[in-house]
Structure 1
Amino acid sequence: MVSRIVVAGGGIAGLSAALLLARQGYAVDLVERDGPPPESLGDIQEWQRPGAPQVRHPHMFLGLFRHLLHTRLPDVHADLLAHGVDEVDNTAPPGAEAPAGATVLASFGSRRATVEWVLHRAVRKQAGIQVHHGLSVREVVADQGRVRGVRVDGEVLEADAVVDATGRRSPLVGAFIKEVEESPCGNVYHSRFYRLMDGVPKPPTFLVPVVFAGGAGFGGGLYAHDNRTFAVVFARLPEDETLGRLRETGAFEAAADAVAQFGPWLQPGSSEPIGDVVPMAGLTNTWRELSPETPDGYLPLGDVLCTTDPILGRGASFALSGAVELSELMGRHKSDLAAVGAGLRAHAEHELRPWYEDGVHDDVERTRSWRATVSGEQEPPAELPLGVLAALAGQQDHRLWELAQLRANLMAAPDSLDTPEVRERLDAVLTSDWEPPVLSPGPTYPELTNALAAYGD
Structure 2
Amino acid sequence: MVSRIAVAGGGIAGLSAALLLARQGYEVDLVERDGPPPDDLGDIQTWQRPGAPQVRHPHMFLGLFRNLLCTRLSDVHADLLAHGVEEVDMTAPPGVAAPPDAIDLAGFGSRRATVEWVLHRAVRKQAGIRVHQGVSVRDVVVEGGRVTGLRVDGAVIDADAVVDATGRRSALAGAFTGAEEESPCGNVYHSRLYRLLADVPQPPMFLVPVVFAGGAGFGGGLYAHDNRTFAVVFARLPEDDVLARLREVGAFEAAAGAVPQFEPWLRAGNSEPIATVTPMAGLTNTWRELSPAAPVGYLPIGDVLCTTDPVLGRGASFALAGAVRLADLMDRNAGDLEAVGAGLRAYARDEVRPWYDDAVRDNAQRTELWRATVEGRRAPEADLPLAVLAALAGMQDLRLWELAQLRANLLAAPDSLDTPEVSKRLDAVLSSGWEPPVLSPGPTYTELTDALAAQTG
TM-score band by shorter chain is over 0.9
Q: Deviations over 1:300-346 (max 9, x none)?
A: 00000001000000000000000000000111112310110110111
Instruction: Name the CA distance, whole Å, in 1 between partners of 2:249 and 2:370.
Output: 24
How far, CA to CA, are the matches of 2:323 and 2:206 in structure 1? Answer: 31
| Matching of residues 189-228 of structure 1 within 5 Å | 189-228=189-228
One-letter amino acid of the counterpart of residue 250, structure 1? G
The residue that corresponds to 1:162 in the other structure is 162
1:153-172 deviation per Cα after TM superposition (whole angstroms, max 9, x unaligned): 12111100000000001010
- Structure 2: how far apart are the matches of 1:212 and 1:227? 23
Partner Cα separation in structure 2 for residue 313 and residue 266 of structure 1 = 24
Q: Which residue of 1 aligns with 2:357?
A: 357
Contact 1:176–1:290 (CA under 8 A) maintained in structure 2 = yes
Question: Is residue 89 of structure 2 the alignment partner of residue 94 of structure 1?
Answer: no
Match of 1:301 in 2: 301
Distance 2:46 2:121 in 1: 17
The one-letter amino acid of 1:391's match is A
1:382 Cα offset (Å): 4.0
Query: 1:431 maps to what in 2?
Result: 431
C-alpha displacement of 1:421: 1.1
1:96-144: CA deviation from partner (whole Å, max 9, x where unpaired): 2222232111000000000000000000000000101000111000010
Mapped contact 1:187–1:283 kept (Cα < 8 A): yes
What is the letter of the counterpart of residue 55 of structure 2? V
Counterpart residue number, 2:273:
273
Task: Return the offset for 1:293.
Answer: 2.4
Task: Indicate the SS of the match to 1:97.
Answer: coil
Tell me the distance in 2 between the aligned counterparts of 1:171 and 1:37.
Answer: 23
| Counterpart residue type for residue 439 of structure 1 | L
Contact 2:208–2:224 under 8 Å retained in 1: no
1:381, distance to aligned residue in structure 2 (A): 5.4
Corresponding position of 1:402: 402
Tell me, what secondary structure is at the counterpart of 1:268? Answer: coil
State the match for 2:4 in structure 1. 4
Matched, 1:143 2:143: yes
Identify the range of structure 1 (19-28 vs 424-433) with the bigger mean alpha-carbon deviation: 424-433
Letter in 1 for 2:59: H
**How far 1:443 moved relative to its partner?**
0.5
Shift of 1:214: 4.5
Q: How does 1:114-193 map to 2 (within 5 A)?
A: 114-193=114-193
Q: Measure how far apart 1:384 and its partner are.
A: 1.9
What residue in structure 2 maps to residue 415 of structure 1?
415
Alpha-carbon distance in structure 1 between the residues aligned to 2:207 and 2:424: 23
* Cα distance in structure 2, aligned partners of 1:361 and 1:251: 31
Query: 2:62 — aligned with what?
Result: 62
Letter in 2 for 1:142: V
Asked if the contact 1:9–1:31 (Cα under 8 Å) also holds between the matched residues in 2, the reply is yes
Alpha-carbon distance between aligned partners in 2 of 1:292 and 1:42, rounded to the nearest angstrom: 46
Q: Tell me, in whole angstroms, the C-alpha distance in 1 between the residues paired with 2:379 and 2:29.
A: 54
Q: Tell me how far apart the structure 1 counterparts of residues 82 and 219 of structure 2 sit (CA, whole Å).
A: 33
Which string of whole-angstrom CA distances, capped at 9 and with x for unpartnered residues, describes residues 65-111 of structure 1?
00000000000000000100010110112222222232111000000
Contact 1:31/1:133 (8 A) holds in 2: yes
Does residue 450 of structure 2 align to residue 450 of structure 1? yes
Report the Cα distance in structure 1 between the residues aligned to 2:335 and 2:362, rounded to whole angstroms. Answer: 41
Question: 3-state SS of the aligned residue for 1:406?
Answer: helix
Contact 1:194 1:271 in 2 (8 A): yes
Which amino acid in 1 is paired with 2:217?
A: G
Matched ranges for 1:308-319 at <5 A: 308-319=308-319
Corresponding position of 1:329: 329
**CA deviation string 1:262-309 (max 9, x = no partner):** 101001111000001000000110110123321000000000000100
Helix, strand or coil: the match of 1:245?
helix
Q: What is the identity, as a one-letter code, of the residue corresponding to 1:63?
A: G
CA distance in 2, matches of 1:223, 1:12: 20
Q: Which residue of structure 2 lines up, in the alignment, with residue 264 of structure 1? A: 264
CA contact (8 A) 2:285 2:309 kept: yes
SS in 2 for 1:235: strand
Question: In 2, Cα distance between the equivalents of 1:43 and 1:381?
Answer: 49
Q: Which residue of 1 aligns with 2:51?
A: 51
Aligned-partner residue type, residue 294 of structure 1: A
- The alignment's TM-score, normalised by the length of structure 2, stands at 0.99
2:36 corresponding residue in structure 1: 36
CA distance, structure 2, for counterparts of residue 133 and residue 146 of structure 1: 26
Task: Find the aligned partners of 2:418 and 2:291 in 1 and give their Cα distance.
Answer: 34
Query: How far did residue 380 of structure 1 move?
Result: 4.7
Secondary structure, counterpart of 2:193 in structure 1 = strand
Are the aligned partners of 1:7 and 1:164 in contact in 2 as well (CA < 8 Å)? yes
1:384 and 1:200 map into 2 onto residues whose CA distance is: 37
> 3-state SS of the aligned residue for 1:45?
helix
How high is the sequence identity, in percent, across the aligned residues?
78
Alpha-carbon distance change, 214 to 262 in structure 1, aligned in 2, over 3 angstroms: farther
> What SS is found at the alignment partner of 1:238?
coil
Any gaps of 5 or more consecutive residues in structure 1?
none
Distance 1:81 1:375 in 2: 46
**Alignment RMSD (CA, Å):** 1.0
Shift of 1:232: 0.3
Q: Distance in 1 between matches of 2:236 and 2:105?
A: 31
Q: Please give the alpha-carbon distance, in whole angstroms, between the structure 2 residues aligned to 1:215 and 1:111.
A: 26
AA of the residue aligned to 2:101: G
Between the aligned partners of 2:364 and 2:286, the Cα distance in structure 1 is: 14
Q: Distance in 1 between matches of 2:188 and 2:404?
A: 28
Q: For 2:148 and 2:48, how far apart are their aligned partners in 1?
A: 32
Distance in 2 (alpha carbons) for counterparts of 1:278 and 1:103: 37
Looking at structure 2, the residues matched to 214 and 388 of structure 1 have their Cα atoms a distance apart, in angstroms, of: 12
Residue 150 of structure 1: SS of its match in structure 2?
strand
Is the CA contact 2:209–2:221 (under 8 Å) kept in the aligned structure 1?
A: no
Partner Cα separation in structure 1 for residue 261 and residue 95 of structure 2: 21
- Counterpart in the other structure of 1:348: 348
Check conservation: 2:60, 2:208, Cα contact below 8 A: no
Q: CA deviation at 1:420?
A: 1.4
Q: Matched residues in 2 for 1:198 and 1:435: separation?
A: 40
Q: 3-state SS of the aligned residue for 1:401?
A: helix
Superposition misfits of 4+ residues, deviation over 3 angstroms: none
